[in-house]
Amino acid sequence: MPPLLKDKTEKLFPKISSPHLFAAHSSSQIVWGFFAALIPIWIAGVVAYGFAAVWVFVLAVGFSCGAQYVFGKRTWIQLGGAAFMGGLLTLLLPAQIPWQGVALGSLISSLMGQVAFGGLGQNIFHPALVGYAALFLLAPDWFSNRASESLGTTSIFAVVFSSLFLLFKKWIAWRTPFFYLLALGVFSSFFGRSFISELFNGSIFLAAFFFMTDPVTAPVTSRGRAGFAIATAFLTAMLRFWAEPLPAALCSVFFLNGFVPLLDRWTQPKLKMAS
């Protein structure tokens, strides 16, 4: 090939390694965007509980980043996964929780939920829910009374505002929360509960928009997502009817995270041979 033509060809078709397809935002930008979406919910928590909410946030994010810095890779912190996970854990904890609880929850979330699997985007179970469930089982007294409501459920308007931001940026698919809320309404009516009071609840919206839409732990296929949403709605309605626990939605999402690999396998689209 003549040198001039070669230069022109390389300019038009540069030789670069994959990926050759680019999205509008990198994964790091999306994760930091999710982190920014949590700010209105934290502000609502700070308004309701004062300095205690700030302290929980600082501790959770600090311990999560610290654990990933020591046991993981520095790039994981730059990608924002550790900070986002700490921020989400803050929303699940009550403001009155002792600092040891926040530290333990953050360490369990980081180490068991993320570092052991290989960092951001590798985990099967939602890391924030791993830490939350472990704390809930280890020290149920911290979550027992209604005064110890989690920070993320103080204002439903803040959760809705953050969810709309994520939907507007197209960082989450609308189908999963839509199917979930619709199915939850139907199942709640089936169990003889009020449609409105069951649906308009901070923890329900938090689970629907922040935990069920997690791109790592939610199913990949559209049929799988619909099945995941309906199954979670059924378990949530059943738990709320049976035991009325505050974290029914989060508990259902965490439990069904284990079924996601199977759901993905089950709902794989079948290739049709052209005749």
Residues in contact with other proteins by the rule CB under 8 A: 112-113, 115-118, 122, 124-125, 130, 133-134, 136-137, 140, 235, 239, 242-245, 248, 251-252, 254-255, 257-259, 261-262, 264-266
| C-beta closer to other proteins: residue 127 or 152 | 127
Phi, psi of 155 (to 5 degrees): -135, 120
Phi, psi of 270 (to 5 degrees): -90, 135
Give the integer Cα–Cα distance in Å for 210 and 167.
11
- Shortest distance (Å) from residue 119 CB to other proteins: 9
Give the integer Cα–Cα distance in Å for 115 and 98.
25
78 is written with which tokens? Answer: 């730059």
- Shortest distance (Å) from residue 87 CB to other proteins: 21
- Shortest distance (Å) from residue 21 CB to other proteins: 20
| C-beta closer to other proteins: residue 33 or 245 | 245
User: How distant, in Å, are the alpha carbons of 62, 80, 126, 142, 238 from that of 102?
Assistant: 10, 19, 17, 11, 30
User: Which residues have CB under 8 Å from 208's CB, separation 6+?
Assistant: 163, 176, 177, 180, 181, 249
32 is written with which tokens? Answer: 């930091």
- Shortest distance (Å) from residue 93 CB to other proteins: 15
- Shortest distance (Å) from residue 71 CB to other proteins: 9
Cα dihedral 153, 154, 160, 166, rounded to 10, equals -70
- Shortest distance (Å) from residue 205 CB to other proteins: 20
Instruction: Residue 62: name the closest of 128, 118, 107 by CA.
Output: 107
| C-beta closer to other proteins: residue 58 or 262 | 262
| C-beta closer to other proteins: residue 53 or 93 | 93
